[in-house]
Structure 1
Amino acid sequence: MKAEPLNPEARTRALDEFAGTVEGEPLDVLVVGGGVVGAAAAFDAATRGLRVGLVEAQDLGQGTSSRSSKLVHGGLRYLQMMDFKLVSEALRERDLLLKRTAPHLVRSLPFVFPFKTPLVDRAFIGSGVSLYDAMSVRPGEKRAVPFHKHLSRSRLRRRFAGLDHDTFVGALEYFDAQVDDARLVMTLARSAQSLGAAVATRTAVESYVHDDAAAVGADTGEAPVVGARLRDLETGRSLEVRAKETIIAAGVWTEQQQDAAEADAGLKVLASKGIHITVPKDRIAAEDHVGVISQTEKSVLFLIPQEDCWAIGTTDTAWHENVDVPAPNSSDIDYVLEHANAILQTDLTREDIIGTWAGLRPLLQPEEKGDGGGSAKVSREHTVKRLAPGLTAVAGGKLTTYRVMAEDAVDFAAQDRFSHRQSLTEVMPLLGGQGYGEWSGRAEEVAAERGLDVERVRRLLRRYGSLLGEVLAPAEEQPDLLEPLEHAPGYLRAEIRYAAEQEGAVHLEDLLERRTRIVHEVRDRGLGVMDEVIALVAGPLGWDEERQEHERRSWTSRVEALLAAEASDSDAEAAALLADTIPATRVTWGSWGASEPTGRAD
């Protein structure tokens, strides 16, 4: 699989290919939704040799799939719920990602689970983690992560000095894994494109095309879905695309898409909000690369080491506002701070927070609502449903099991037409995965060749894998690309250029929130680095002075809204603040040269 650039030209070609299906040959599979499941479904279908299209109304992973805890894990708390099938499936997928399909993106991560009583807690927690470890054993296969171990009080103090050691008498340490979720989604989409899929972001489905004539002779009398009507949100262009099978993988937007398809029945999805905060790395003392897990009365608290900060979360509350604009409010942040401070030696305050994010988990609504309709008790297992001939929807699940969800969705959609085409996603590495071991072994050599420190190269390898050569190649003619960004030194200038030329970034927001994590890692949320980033991408993305100024205004207004939302008193207020940054129509310049938009372009 040779990496193909995902850039403005590729996006235009994808839209033209879609338009050509009306008079020409239809796509085999159209996937609606560019989150982790949609991107994975496109990749899955492409590995089967099918002709595939993927459309996403925003950026790749912009919804839930870039707003998770960024963990690849079985889910210890699901053992308490007796959901052994989900845990077993997730542990298998975790190990597959670590060992074969995405070893460059997924990294093992030890967690300490501290306890207060030396006998009862150690026995209770130990038995659960022992079962967790046992469920990940594969006969004849080497383990992807080590077995758990017990830590004494003194060893816990050395391992994680920042914990309140007057409260905890010991801990159990076990392993799971972490991932940059947005980068995983983008890599899945690029992998699909490199196998021939046509990928178009900022492209909304306005309605679905039904073949009414075919309904006359059908046993059910239902008109098959044979495509969709699309709108390019960058230029305002309207077009149709035809496909033999269409898969809706829209997460919390599932019911909106089912309504657009005029489906008589479908999946019911409940949106549950989870928030995280980030604080500087030096605010919590610990040995390098170890996290903490602790149970709260409502959810699970994670302290997760990132490259340059700690991520702390999460919450689990029902969301009843516009699903386009989830945001943490003041009480959410207070909740996370309160529970973090209950286990830390030194209290964190609002002044320590350098970033926040909120995501909406797409939980399947049960047939009969649970206790009070609360979202925390809804199952995370996924479901695939046939909505109409030619139209399938998939929802539920969790980030870790995205590959299984995608395979099930494509299997289900393809069962009548393409049942002989088998998925290869269990054995085919994503872009950057093949050859990663060799590159990783040469980290010191690469560092010496490029004049970079070894830890910088290892960090780059965890983002790009064997594609690192592509990222650094332009620096041979432009050496300043190897310099770090002035106000976000965790990233090289070359990474920003690469994101614009190869990774599908369309707006400044894409670069600062998803191709990088600058918005969560620097205190000014990226305002200081904004001009440097714009200067790097203006050429590759064709931004004139007017467009550059528009991107500055858009990002500034977004940061202001995010900060205001964090101080707000309710979900409704937080959502309203962010909604004000999104215009009624997101069409911008029309080939970047027509009328000025009234608000954000994205």
Structure 2
Amino acid sequence: MAAGAAPVTTESDCRCDVMAVTDRDCAGVTACPGDRGLLLVAPGGYRGRVRDPNLTRSAAGQLSPERRATDLRRLRTERFDVLIIGGGVTGAGAALDAASRGLKVALVEARDYAAGTSSRSSKLIHGGLRYLEQLEFHLVHEALTERGLLATRLAPHLVRPVPILVPLPAGESLRDLPARAFRRAYYGAGVATYDAFAGVFGGGRGMPLHRHLSREGARRIFPSLRADALAGAIRYYDGQVDDARLVVTLARTAASLGATVVTSTRAVGLIRQAREVTGVRVRDLEAAPGSPDAEFEVHARVVIGATGVWSDDMSRMLNDVGLRPGIRVRASKGVHLVVPRSAITGETGLILRTASSVLFVIPWGGHWIIGTTDTDWRLDRSHPAASARDIQYLLDQVNTVLDRPLTTADIEGVYAGLRPLLAGEADSTSKLSREHAVFEPMLGLLLVAGGKYTTYRVMASDVVDRAARRLGGVRPSRTADLPLLGADGYAAMWRDRADLARRHGVPVGVVEHLLERYGTLTRELLALIDADPLQASPLAGAPEYLAAEVTYAARAEGALHLEDVLTRRTRISFETTHRGLESAGHTAELMGAVLGWDAATREREVAHYRARVEAERESQLMPDDATADAARLGAPDVRGFAADRGVDGDSVELPTSSR
């Protein structure tokens, strides 16, 4: 045993307290048996539990079907320090934060990772240029700090710079020259301040500086801009991310540090002793119908609700004991359109001012993402629907600056998500704060809500800090220095991508595609291809993706259903005009080989997915929110629960799909 280390004989002697253990820093520790790998004692008596050091960190974080079964048993039989409800970016971030502090952590999610808001964003990691105008300097500072960390340290394989133009409107006469000069100075000062904040607070800027452009310069890099619609432009940079993939990576990184993470597990009620929450009653939505084991209790010292637009439901569950409501959240619907890259000619994104907010036009591989709206939504929260009115609004706004107007015929995909904004007195959701809050409505229960996708790590740290006060003896957050799976060694692997392609017999473009989605985990997909060359085959209906990516999603990324892969592990559902229908059969075959699906199950999965696509298409033809919502509800949820209306029988249930 290492000098100074206290003897360890049982698991109860050890706190699950571990730094970011990588594949190479297990030296200087002494091992003793543990139920999930090894209990480790470092020199000086520091104790912690991590995986078997013979396993790679990525292998320890594989969310396989077998891992789910094991984690379900753990939920039933063990007591946790922290139980998190919600598998969006905030919940997954909180699981990672708590696990990296050494806490015994569990996370339950009713649907899939990022099934709610966290997969339906504008795909930007940004400081919020418009928040400078609203004088929300703290929010800008916080977001730019997080952007810098993600782009340079935590997830450089998932977050990368994207150039964005701020078009400066043209005047109609010489009398407009002073106004044009003022606008350039005004916007220029704002962007310069943005860059200055990033340089000072951004943890390593990670983004190039802004640049002023003339009208001709702007149209050289964005020829589709109408010449009469601008006097010039300012180019600046923000971060771009595959939002759903970042959430899955957070969950896997938490799992690699010992967290128990289980999807398709719905919280149906809180367990209370007197006036204290001691756990959650959950239902396994993958259990056989009528199974006596489908519903069970999970016990924890602290329960954290990271349920986004369902935060009010958790608060209302406490009304029966006379407690005041907790966080009040107002859902704001944001709709995005996806059009092919050929529909607009440009090398950068755009940010446009509208009457009520801003509009982004963002390059996304072979596509453009156009969004977003910002309107109240009081209908089904599980499946917010885009209406024909939403779609036409976005087309009208973007067409004010394009030389060839877009029409509905150009649209490949549409998606809608809900922002969980802290409720206030503002008439418009666009004026509500993007700040977050942590609230403790009852002993043992913490709720976190509000905030921005970009600042998920701060939200996670804040709520775990509150939990730590109750638990005692917990180390501070360390996620600012903890690279996510796939980040460590990414730059070197990118430099060696040509050699990597040669060694595995695949085109360099394939390796680049994988590196930009998986980072250094690319080696695991290449290993699948080495073992079975058919895994290098293009996916039917979506040739930019490989069969190996579907197999890997089911084997290592916790995908349980067809829509998990077509809408979140890949983005085929909005990147193709067929919305993934031409890929569904092939995807079901590949997933079925991993998950043990028979022919009937494969057919059922495809039928569910087809019904979803048809319902979404119908909703997008409806004139308003009410009719669009009714159309979208025509498709049953593949996980077996009805559309969320807040009530199931006599008790409130929590869909637990977080931000």
TM over 0.5: yes
| Aligned residue number for residue 349 of structure 2 | 291
| Aligned residue number for residue 150 of structure 2 | 97
Q: Is structure 2 residue 188 aligned with structure 1 residue 126? A: yes
Write out aligned runs for 1:367-446 (5 A): 369-370=425-426, 373-446=427-500
| Aligned residue number for residue 164 of structure 2 | 111
* Unpaired runs of at least 5, structure 2: 1-21, 23-56, 171-179, 643-656
| Aligned residue number for residue 282 of structure 2 | 230
Secondary structure in 1 matching 2:299: strand
Secondary structure in 1 matching 2:236: strand
| Aligned residue number for residue 266 of structure 2 | 204
Paired residue total: 569
Is the contact between residue 145 and residue 201 of structure 2 (CA under 8 Å) also seen in structure 1?
A: no
| Aligned residue number for residue 355 of structure 1 | 413
Bigger CA radius of gyration: 2
| Aligned residue number for residue 126 of structure 2 | 73
For 1:264, give the aligned amino acid.
Answer: R
Is the contact between residue 211 and residue 226 of structure 1 (CA under 8 Å) also seen in structure 2?
A: yes
| Aligned residue number for residue 487 of structure 1 | 541
Question: Which of these residues, 449, 454, 457, is aligned with residue 503 of structure 2?
Answer: 449
C-alpha distance in structure 2 between counterparts of 1:139 and 1:470, whole Å: 36
C-alpha distance in structure 1 between counterparts of 2:472 and 2:250, whole Å: 22
Question: Which of these residues, 63, 68, 91, is aligned with residue 6 of structure 1?
Answer: 63
Q: State the Cα distance separating 1:482 from its structure 2 match.
A: 1.2
Q: State the Cα distance separating 1:292 from its structure 2 match.
A: 0.7
C-alpha distance in structure 1 between counterparts of 2:253 and 2:474, whole Å: 22
| Aligned residue number for residue 192 of structure 1 | 254
C-alpha distance in structure 1 between counterparts of 2:507 and 2:314, whole Å: 48
| Aligned residue number for residue 86 of structure 1 | 139
Q: State the Cα distance separating 1:587 from its structure 2 match.
A: 6.5
| Aligned residue number for residue 200 of structure 2 | 138
C-alpha distance in structure 1 between counterparts of 2:637 and 2:128, whole Å: 38
Write out aligned runs for 1:274-289 (5 A): 274-287=334-347
Q: Is structure 2 residue 46 aligned with structure 1 residue 46? A: no
C-alpha distance in structure 2 between counterparts of 1:421 and 1:297, whole Å: 47
Question: Which of these residues, 513, 516, 520, is aligned with residue 459 of structure 1?
Answer: 513
Question: Which of these residues, 264, 276, 281, is aligned with residue 324 of structure 2?
Answer: 264
Q: Output one character per residue of 1:29-85: Cα deviation in whole Å (capped at 9) or x when no partner.
A: 000000000000000000001100000011100000000101000001111111000
Write out aligned runs for 1:524-543 (5 A): 524-543=578-597
Q: State the Cα distance separating 1:206 from its structure 2 match.
A: 0.6
Q: Is structure 2 residue 391 aligned with structure 1 residue 333? A: yes
Is the contact between residue 148 and residue 204 of structure 2 (CA under 8 Å) also seen in structure 1?
A: no
C-alpha distance in structure 1 between counterparts of 2:327 and 2:512, whole Å: 43
C-alpha distance in structure 2 between counterparts of 1:341 and 1:461, whole Å: 35
Is the contact between residue 301 and residue 444 of structure 2 (CA under 8 Å) also seen in structure 1?
A: yes
| Aligned residue number for residue 558 of structure 1 | 612
Is the contact between residue 245 and residue 414 of structure 1 (CA under 8 Å) also seen in structure 2?
A: no
C-alpha distance in structure 2 between counterparts of 1:100 and 1:487, whole Å: 35
For 1:446, give the aligned amino acid.
Answer: L
| Aligned residue number for residue 251 of structure 1 | 308
Q: CA separation of 1:584/1:264 partners in 2, compared to 1, >3 Å: closer, same or farther? A: farther
C-alpha distance in structure 1 between counterparts of 2:241 and 2:76, whole Å: 36
C-alpha distance in structure 1 between counterparts of 2:384 and 2:201, whole Å: 43
Is the contact between residue 484 and residue 493 of structure 1 (CA under 8 Å) also seen in structure 2?
A: yes
Q: Output one character per residue of 1:298-330: Cα deviation in whole Å (capped at 9) or x when no partner.
A: 121111111121100111000011111201100
Write out aligned runs for 1:173-184 (5 A): 173-184=235-246
C-alpha distance in structure 2 between counterparts of 1:106 and 1:578, whole Å: 32
Is the contact between residue 31 and residue 41 of structure 1 (CA under 8 Å) also seen in structure 2?
A: yes
CA RMSD of aligned residues (A): 1.7
Q: Is structure 2 residue 557 aligned with structure 1 residue 503? A: yes
Is the contact between residue 39 and residue 185 of structure 1 (CA under 8 Å) also seen in structure 2?
A: yes
Q: State the Cα distance separating 1:456 from its structure 2 match.
A: 3.1
C-alpha distance in structure 1 between counterparts of 2:202 and 2:312, whole Å: 44
Write out aligned runs for 1:16-27 (5 A): 16-21=73-78, 26-27=79-80
Q: CA separation of 1:41/1:574 partners in 2, compared to 1, >3 Å: closer, same or farther? A: same
Q: State the Cα distance separating 1:141 from its structure 2 match.
A: 6.5
| Aligned residue number for residue 319 of structure 1 | 377
Q: CA separation of 1:453/1:286 partners in 2, compared to 1, >3 Å: closer, same or farther? A: farther
Identity of aligned residues (%): 46
Question: Which of these residues, 354, 368, 373, is aligned with residue 310 of structure 1?
Answer: 368
Secondary structure in 1 matching 2:582: coil
Q: Is structure 2 residue 530 aligned with structure 1 residue 476? A: yes
Is the contact between residue 279 and residue 309 of structure 1 (CA under 8 Å) also seen in structure 2?
A: yes
Secondary structure in 1 matching 2:471: coil
Is the contact between residue 316 and residue 325 of structure 2 (CA under 8 Å) also seen in structure 1?
A: no
Is the contact between residue 111 and residue 174 of structure 1 (CA under 8 Å) also seen in structure 2?
A: yes
For 1:526, give the aligned amino acid.
Answer: G
> TM-score, normalization: structure 2?
0.84
Q: State the Cα distance separating 1:142 from its structure 2 match.
A: 4.6
Secondary structure in 2 matching 1:416: helix
Q: Is structure 2 residue 296 aligned with structure 1 residue 239? A: yes
| Aligned residue number for residue 228 of structure 2 | 166
Q: State the Cα distance separating 1:240 from its structure 2 match.
A: 0.4
Q: Output one character per residue of 1:397-435: Cα deviation in whole Å (capped at 9) or x when no partner.
A: 000000000000000121121353221100000110111
Secondary structure in 2 matching 1:529: helix
For 2:256, give the aligned amino acid.
Answer: S
Q: Output one character per residue of 1:208-237: Cα deviation in whole Å (capped at 9) or x when no partner.
A: 11112xxxxxxxxxx110101000111150
For 2:509, give the aligned amino acid.
Answer: E
For 1:230, give the aligned amino acid.
Answer: V
| Aligned residue number for residue 423 of structure 2 | 365
Is the contact between residue 282 and residue 295 of structure 2 (CA under 8 Å) also seen in structure 1?
A: yes
Secondary structure in 1 matching 2:355: coil
Is the contact between residue 622 and residue 628 of structure 2 (CA under 8 Å) also seen in structure 1?
A: yes
Q: State the Cα distance separating 1:477 from its structure 2 match.
A: 2.1
Q: State the Cα distance separating 1:139 from its structure 2 match.
A: 7.7
* Unpaired runs of at least 5, structure 1: 213-222, 589-601
Is the contact between residue 340 and residue 368 of structure 2 (CA under 8 Å) also seen in structure 1?
A: yes
Secondary structure in 2 matching 1:96: helix
Is the contact between residue 97 and residue 477 of structure 2 (CA under 8 Å) also seen in structure 1?
A: yes
For 1:205, give the aligned amino acid.
Answer: A
